[in-house]
């Protein structure tokens, strides 16, 4: 295996990436991104910004999308564990409205490539989680739209234990249903 294992999913363009970690008694080292290796793996993206967040158990961020300035995101969890999800909202896509999800954790070191045109979100499964992501365009706050994390049109199967309280931002509590977004396009 090379430095990265690129795992295609059921949705074209959505990729799970497993970096190779080199460990010994002192810890480990790994590359999380290398432009030429990613290009050889079919991912040729010019990332322009890195972001990082910390959230506590039950925090659910999403589902978010930039309409006119869409972003490709390369996401990973560097501490704790999250369930990360993307929904295909690319017009004309054969998988329009379908979702993919993956557990990302400090332990499994996996990354998730979320292409332009996808709504994105995650829920924190551990006590705390630090989440990092690269994007290929800058954030435009007036361009963001969002959908409820549990919108029935998506049917996302979140692995949320019965005793976990979901914590949403004020913004995420008031998103219109996806059906309204579809009507107003």
139 is catalytic: no
Q: Which helix (H) or strand (E) holds 85?
A: strand 81-88
**Site of tokens 């978010």:** 64
Q: Would the CA dihedral through 41, 99, 78, 138 be positive or negative?
A: positive
| Measured CA angle at 21 (ends 16, 25), to 5 deg | 150
> Choosing from 64, 120, 175, 181, which is the catalytic residue?
64
3-state percent helix, strand, coil for the chain, nearest multiple of 5: 10, 45, 45
End-to-end CA distance of the chain: 44
**Cα–Cα distance, 160 to 36 (Å, whole number):** 37
> Choosing from 120, 133, 175, 181, which is the catalytic residue?
133
Produce one character per residue of 94-118: b if its CB has 16 or more CB atoms within 10 Å, e if not.
Answer: ebeebbbbbbbbeeebbbbbbbbbb
133 is catalytic: yes
The catalytic residues are 64, 133
């Amino acid at each position: 295996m090379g430095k990265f294992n690129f795992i295609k999913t059921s949705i074209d363009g959505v990729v799970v990436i497993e970096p190779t970690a080199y460990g010994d008694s002192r810890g480990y080292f790994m590359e999380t991104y290398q432009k030429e290796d990613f290009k050889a793996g079919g991912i040729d993206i010019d990332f322009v910004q890195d972001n990082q967040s910390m959230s506590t158990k039950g925090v659910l961020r999403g589902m978010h999308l930039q309409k006119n300035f869409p972003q490709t995101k390369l996401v990973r969890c560097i501490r704790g564990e999250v369930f990360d999800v993307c929904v295909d909202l690319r017009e004309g896509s054969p998988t329009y409205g379908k979702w993919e999800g993956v557990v990302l954790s400090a332990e499994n070191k996996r990354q998730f490539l979320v292409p332009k045109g996808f709504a994105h979100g995650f829920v924190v499964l551990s006590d705390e989680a630090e989440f990092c992501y690269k994007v290929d365009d800058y954030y435009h706050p007036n361009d963001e739209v969002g959908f409820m994390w549990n919108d029935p049109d998506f049917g996302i199967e979140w692995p949320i234990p019965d005793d976990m309280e979901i914590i949403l931002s004020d913004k995420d509590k008031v998103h219109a249903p996806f059906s309204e977004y579809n009507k107003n396009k």
